[in-house]
Amino acid sequence: MRRSWKMALAGGLRCCRRVLSWVPVLVIVLVVLWSYYAYVFELCLVTILSPAEKVIYLILYHAIFVFFAWTYWKSIFTLPQQPNQKFHLSYTDKERYENEQRPEVQKQMLIDMAKKLPVYTRTGSGAVRFCERCHLIKPDRCHHCSVCAMCVLKMDHHCPWVNNCIGFSNYKYFLQFLAYSVLYCLYIATTVFSYFIKYWRLSVSFLQLPFPGQEAFCTPVFTSGLEKNGFNLGFIKNIQQVFGNNKKFWLIPIGSSLGDGHFFPMRSMNESQNPLLANEESWEEEDMQDRSETLYSTYQHLHTTITHEVYRILCLEPFRLRNTSPWWIESSTIPKLSVIHMRCRYLRTLQVT
């Protein structure tokens, strides 16, 4: 009863091991499928607007992708090749070898058997290379794989990323897979690089990163009213707020952010209202309070409306600007935006003064 229980447990562990061994392969497959979707659909079919560029990119991509997937498939499902039957001990020789207790006699028996085989390599001690588990004389460059539980011809290694033993039968496929995977990555990086730079420039120039994404969509409300850039101190100072003033700590994952998380420097507040700045007298006159708040609210409303619309177009559809004329850059619309911008600047000037 106890023996059968141990056998069942061992069988269950072997089953779990076989299932888990496919996890690295599944990871690679998912990454490749995601890259296929991102490149074919998001880049070629949605972002790129030139038909000729689309066709060229898709043809070259699929040519590389087919060979990449093909060699990966062959590396996984090509079974490792084992030594043929003539390298195995016969039933009689196996019994003689196992019944012999003297090591020197066993060694001589293997030497006599190896004389009939094309075997030229030996162990470090000069003995014939013999596998005690498979009961065979190992051919040259043959090794026993503990994962596959077999002797594999021209064994290189057992690769978890293909869940297979790399040897004579799939060595070529594996090297081709490595070459095509490098080519696949280089091709994607080369063709996507220009669009990545465009997207990054548009995003950084507009959002002034690093700036909390939550405040980019939900404008903070201060006591004086809405202020979208109330905590935006500019790109450099925003970096310093997050990473600290000491640049040698910027790449090290230790706490170096400025402040304690309860109070933050503000852009639009005067120094008397900001708890992090020194106390000074208020620079606004009491009789200008109502007029300034009215002008400032009007400015904020126009600024927020335009900013949200431009952000939606720049960040959600950053690459549709190429070879197109959206409504907000048409010749008939530019004067309207210029007028609105001038009004905003005028209102801003009145609010400040």
What are the residue numbers of the active site?
Answer: 159
Q: How far is CA 290 from CA 223, 227, 269, 271, in A?
A: 14, 17, 16, 20
DSSP code for 249? G
Check if the beta carbon of residue 177 is closer than 8 Å to that of residue 68: yes
Query: Which of 345, 336, 347 lies closest to 297, judged by CA?
Result: 347
Residue 267 region, left (φ>0) first, then alpha (ψ -120 to 50), else beta?
Answer: alpha
Helix runs in the chain, H state only: 2-20, 23-36, 51-77, 91-99, 103-114, 171-207, 213-217, 235-243, 289-316, 334-352
Quote the CA–CA distance of 74 and 176 in Å, as a whole number.
10
Which helix H or strand E contains 80, and what residues bound it?
none
Query: Which of 26, 72, 60 lies closest to 180, judged by CA?
Result: 72
Which helix H or strand E contains 121, and what residues bound it?
none
Residue 278 burial (CB < 10 Å; 0-12/13-18/19+)?
A: exposed
Check if the beta carbon of residue 118 is closer than 8 Å to that of residue 133: no
187 contacts: CB under 8 Å, gap ≥ 6: 60, 61, 64
What are 130's strand-pairing partners? Answer: 137
